[in-house]
Chains A and B, each alone.
Chain A
Amino acid sequence: MNEKVDVLIIGSGASGAAVAWSLAETKMRILCLEQGDWVKPTDYPSNGRDWEARLFSDFAVNPNRRARPTDYPINDANSPIKVVNFNGVGGSTIMYTAHYPRLHPSDFKVRTLDGVADDWPVDYATLEPFFAENDRMMGVSGLAGDPAYPPKQPPMPPLPLGKSGQRFGRAMNKLGWHWWPSDTTIATVDYDGRGRCLNLGHCTPGCAQGAKASTDITYWPHAIRAGVELRTRARVREIALDERGMASGVVYYDAEGREQFQPAEMVIVACNGVGTPRLMLNSVSGRFPDGIANSSGLVGKNLMFHPYALTYGYVDEPLDGNHGPPLCLWSHEFYETDHRRDFVRGYAFQFGRGFGSIVEAIVSTAAGRLPWGEEHHRIYREQLLNRRIGLSAICEDLPEEHNRVTLDPVLKDSHGIPAPRIDYTISENSHRMMDHGIARATEILEAAGARNIAVERPILNGGWHLLGTARMGTDPARSVVNEWGRCHDVKNMFIVDGSIWVTAGGVNPTSTIQALALYIADSIKRRLADATLFD
């Protein structure tokens, strides 16, 4: 029997790491269970000559393709957007591209402002100090003064513009549209023990230099030094309930595949927008036959992804290619609702540099741009290699209950735990938003001198933002957790990952996921202090 801990966190990714670090100062006994392993810097693909090939094998973004023993399968057949993630210490931040915008103040008030979905029970002003604290802990590079946001001060200077950034900047100026160097969690100077970015250009499948802030090298070293225990290869099957209806601990499988029970005073779930509802739906009891803390029936529902519309083209000179972090600029010109358009809400653009030379050859062959035979060499060299520029519209998905995570009746992981199944369709509103984004992106690319413009809509392996499947709210009938992350139904169980989002905004979510996790940790600390935590 394992000794009881005060706080049990499940999942060591973006949110689990932040909450662990923040709670460490309480000196409670804190344990995090993580199904995956630590990733060593020497494991990352950019150490080897086969670095692009590993994007299609052990560092593939899609867990069904990657299929490490630490991954779980996902039935994504009924979704035009496939879930991508990473399972290990650092979670999906091992694989993320480190583009790091915050939600806007308006994103928390969409019902009030636009009459759709629901307002959040928290707002930007409440989260503001936690955004700033998280920026410091993750190490954000960027430039103060962006007119698209309330004032903020990234602790490091921005990424270089490079050739592609300048081309985009000129094009946006010609059109008179907003653009700005992105906030990223890529160190542009040496920072908190991390070396600065060397432009390996291979951020997504992990940064061998440690310049990209995955939480295994940001929050975790600090949390572990402060006394938090992190147990890897510990896959949680279910959260157990005691006779009072409180979470009593979890059942998990250890590295040897043995079933273990870990008792705890409180449980914090941080398994992401797919892993969390999967775990909750797998945790059934007499009191919760449809999954723990699911009296609302909303666990797993309202899945939001951000459909990505990628538009790209080719210019007549070599640009940065894959050299340098891929995402360097954003535009929030079309972020807000404009009643002259045929859709509500909006999207941000993220501008990309280019692709690695082999990935370029692969996608161009698939798209029919790169032929077989004698002409292959000329076209590749003269028209494709390092000539790509592109941008994606990150479209705000509205919550719809039929978009959901359920348990697959057949598919199971290597421990026999039922795997998640995704049912998801892109709404008419999102389709119109993508149309608009593609039309504007085409104008931008033309202004940047690009030709052979092509589109990928939605990006197939683009389910990287996993949101909404255990939403926050003040009404227990319409939400799973309250305004500070505690489950309405189980008073010592909290959720801190992207599941709790009410709406999705139109930006990459991790900055806001982590600010929320810090805010929830702070709420827990305050209620511990006045002994109201479980009231």
Chain B
Amino acid sequence: MDRDNPLTEAETRDLRALAALMIPASDVYGVPGADDDLIFADILRSLERDTADARAALALLARMAGGSFADLPAGRRAEIAAAFKREGGAPLFALNRVVLLCYYRDDRVMRSLGQEPRPPFPRGHEVEQGDWSLLDPVRGRAPFYRRAP
């Protein structure tokens, strides 16, 4: 088995077709879909401790498709995907999580959201101090903690 892909070829094709339906590419926002080469390779590499759930979810998808989900006509794929979303349960949740984790850390996607593609450390972020006079009404309140004997 490929070290970067724990799935079979059929599972991989179905997952790619599903990823394209979950998060399609968009011209409006100028972003790739979750089936983009780079993002999809990241998804396969990142299944890690979710591999068993991913395979269980894909097995259900194949059952619902009556065979290869990827080979169905587009309209039928969309119908099956909608039903799968309702019925997929915890395994689908795990699979969907990996797709989102990889999609939203892609440089192109992050830039389109106005985010800098970098780890939080060491540069951090700015948080404004804010208007501390908002606290004045509370400062004026008498101590109200309950006295204990």
Contact = CB atoms under 8 A, between A and B. Distances in A.
Given A109-B149, A123-B148, A374-B26, A160 B130 contact: yes
A56 B105 CA distance: 15
Interface in B1-41: 21-24, 26, 28-29, 31
The 3 closest A-B pairs by CB, nearest first: A198-B124, A161-B130, A324-B127
A56 to B, nearest CB: 7
A152 to B, nearest CB: 11
Contacts of A357: 104, 113, 115
17 contacts: A47-B119, A50-B101, A51-B119, A51-B120, A53-B101, A56-B50, A57-B48, A67-B49, A105-B147, A106-B147, A161-B132, A166-B134, A181-B135, A361-B100, A372-B21, A377-B26, A385-B113
Q: How large is the interface on A (under 10, 10 to 19, 20 to 34, 35 or more residues)?
A: 35 or more
B48 A106 contact: no
Given A160-B127, A200-B120, A381-B29, A147 B100 contact: no
Interface string A328-372: 000010001000000000000000000001100110011000001
Given A49-B119, A323-B125, A358-B105, A104 B145 contact: yes
A65 B94 CA distance: 12
A469 interface: no
A402 interface: no
B85 A372 contact: yes
B97 interface: yes
Interface string A46-68: 11111111001100000001010
Given A123-B148, A148-B144, A160-B128, A374 B24 contact: yes
A44 B120 CA distance: 11
Interface stretch (A130-138, A172-180, A435-443): A172-180
Nearest to A211: B124
A387 interface: no
Contacts of B120: 46, 51, 200-202, 208
Contacts, number: 173
A366 to B, nearest CB: 6
B66 interface: no
A169 interface: yes
Interface of A: 44, 46-53, 56-57, 65, 67, 104-106, 108-109, 112-113, 123-124, 143, 145, 147-150, 159-163, 165-166, 169-170, 172-173, 176, 178-181, 197-202, 208-209, 320, 323-324, 332, 336, 357-358, 361-362, 365-366, 372-374, 376-378, 381, 385
Interface of B: 21-24, 26, 28-29, 31, 46, 48-50, 81, 85, 93, 96-97, 100-105, 113, 115, 117-132, 134-135, 137-139, 141-149
B100 A199 contact: no
A362 B142 CA distance: 43
B81 to A, nearest CB: 7
